[in-house]
A and B are shown apart, each in its own frame.
Chain A
Amino acid sequence: MGSEIACQSCDLLVNVAATKHGQSASCPRCGGFLTRCYDNTDQRVLAFASAGLMFLAFASSYSFLSLSRSGVESNITLLQAPAALWSYGMPEVGALVAAFIIVIPATVLTMMAVLCFLINQGRYNPWLVPLAKGVFLGQHWSMVEVFIIAVIVALVKIAAMATVVIGISFWAYAAFAICFTLAVSSLDRYQCWERIEALRAQ
């Protein structure tokens, strides 16, 4: 019974014990995703998460985009984008945007790195459960890849009105988005919880 999953989208009981490294399993009845197996999850997540966090630190310290027309110039960093909505009397939207593109992804990535580090230690730690809960709850609400598309659309929109220069921060943010996606896809919900339980049982 230990290696059975109830499909999240149709409740069918499926045995996933035969899933090997690099393979993923999906439900035979409804086609829903069940689990993906990596033997080196900890290394993958730690590598992608630490690289991603470094890229994010870089992305928030330099110019993100700049704009000029007839000698007048305007310059923004990543954090100034949601802050502008705040100063225009829309704190709710500003807070939502900041949460979706910076706060949630950064928190999830940090928690993932700590979680995989602790699991890799091979000992049970009382922090494992709350960390894993935070990771799996938060990753659904990160919108880094959506923001990248939005930047491209915004560039096309203003290119007709003024000259736009893409700052180094944008490229760092794009690298952060890639690292984030890779880290999230390396940590499987089922496998992660099975390992936490195995550590607790020791």
Chain B
Amino acid sequence: MSDLPATAAKSHLAACHMCLKLASADVHQCPRCGSAMHLRKHDSLQRTLALLITACLLYIPANLYPIMYTDSLGSAEASTIMGGVVLLINLGSAPVALVIFIFSVMVPSAKLMAMFYLVWSVQRQSPIDRRKRSTLYRITEFVGKWSMVDIFVVTILVALVQLGGLLTIQPGIAALLFAGVVTITMIAAENFDSRLIWDNMEEENSAN
């Protein structure tokens, strides 16, 4: 018993998610800050999974529909997220194209896949690579907001590029969809309880 790691749950303690106060697991309101207290986030896996599926559904049209329209001397041109990357490469700014590609294409899809993997591995109580999965979760949580770069770029271009008939830029529906994808995946990551990765460790150790 002595070599088992002492977790809060094992000691019948719950930690407040807001102020980190430790209190008996039977208490439902934090004695320090008054937030609702629970041993683990409620329905963590179901909520995360539901939000992930929503984000996936939004992600498809977000890539197919144009994110902005460039109207230059009367000829309008629509561009999608990937189209913007290709345009930047053609303009000769490969580093910036890489930034947009990483933040708008790689990060959102990698993040969705990582979150699906985490939910799946917790669901089947996987005993492997707990530390790596914890790190994966922290990275996922950290990079989430960086996907907003493309939305901010569109915001700036739409506001700034208003030169009458000469050159104007208008936002496309994909801006709304993509902003939804980013926000919903951030909420999904917040709903995932990474302590679940470690929860079945003690039982296993004592069984051996």
Contact = CB atoms under 8 A, between A and B. Distances in A.
Question: Top 3 A-B pairs ranked by shortest CB distance?
Answer: A150-B152, A84-B159, A6-B8
Interface of B: 5-9, 11, 13, 15, 17-22, 32-35, 72, 84, 87-88, 91, 93, 96, 99-100, 130-131, 134-135, 137-138, 145-146, 148-153, 155-164, 166-167, 170-171, 175-176, 179, 183, 190, 194-195, 197-199
Contacts of A80: 159
B198 A11 contact: yes
Nearest to A33: B138
19 contacts: A6-B13, A6-B20, A9-B138, A31-B131, A32-B134, A74-B163, A76-B160, A81-B155, A81-B156, A88-B170, A93-B176, A100-B148, A129-B33, A150-B149, A150-B155, A157-B91, A158-B157, A162-B161, A193-B19
A18 to B, nearest CB: 17
A103 interface: no
Contacts of B146: 146, 149
Interface string A29-45: 11110000000000000
Contacts of B35: 133
Given A8-B20, A93-B155, A154-B157, 10 more contacts: A10-B130, A13-B22, A65-B160, A85-B171, A149-B146, A150-B152, A153-B99, A156-B93, A193-B33, A196-B32
A8 B195 CA distance: 7
Contact of A154 (B9, B145, B160): B160
A66 B160 CA distance: 7
B175 A31 contact: no
B8 A72 contact: no
Nearest to A190: B20
B152 A88 contact: no
